[in-house]
Amino acid sequence: MEENLENKKKIILDYFEKEQNNYWKTINEISGTTKVESSIVSKIITTSGDFVRSSYRMKAGEPLFTSRKNFRSKAPFVDKIIGAFKNRID
């Protein structure tokens, strides 16, 4: 990833670090808060191993994302077990 994208990825990761309870976010929510264009957010989230997409959560028809670190530390234990059985993150 080029340096500019790495900087924007850090901004997005920092945003997720600040989220306490509601850590699943749409691309538009991430973009609106971080001021990173939604197309760039989408590119970073889909090409980086630092983010995960929920396989069953949606908000207003949009997929939800979180950082891998947030999922590991904040997701309910049951979601982690189900993810292990499905061989997916959630």
The tens digit of pLDDT for each residue in 5-43 reads 999 999 999 999 988 778 899 999 999 999 999 999 999
Give the pLDDT band of residue 87 (cuts 50, 70, 90). low
pTM (whole model) above 0.75: yes
Query: And the tokens for 72?
Result: 């590991």
CATH of domain 3-86: 1.10.10.10
Tell me what the mean pLDDT of segment 34-55 comes to.
92
Q: Under a CB-based contact definition with an 8 Å cutoff, are residues 89 and 55 in contact?
A: yes
DSSP string, 19-81: --S---B-HHHHHHHH---HHHHHHHHHH-TTEEEEEEEEETTEEEEEEHHHHHHHS-HHHHH
Task: Give the pLDDT of residue 40.
Answer: 97
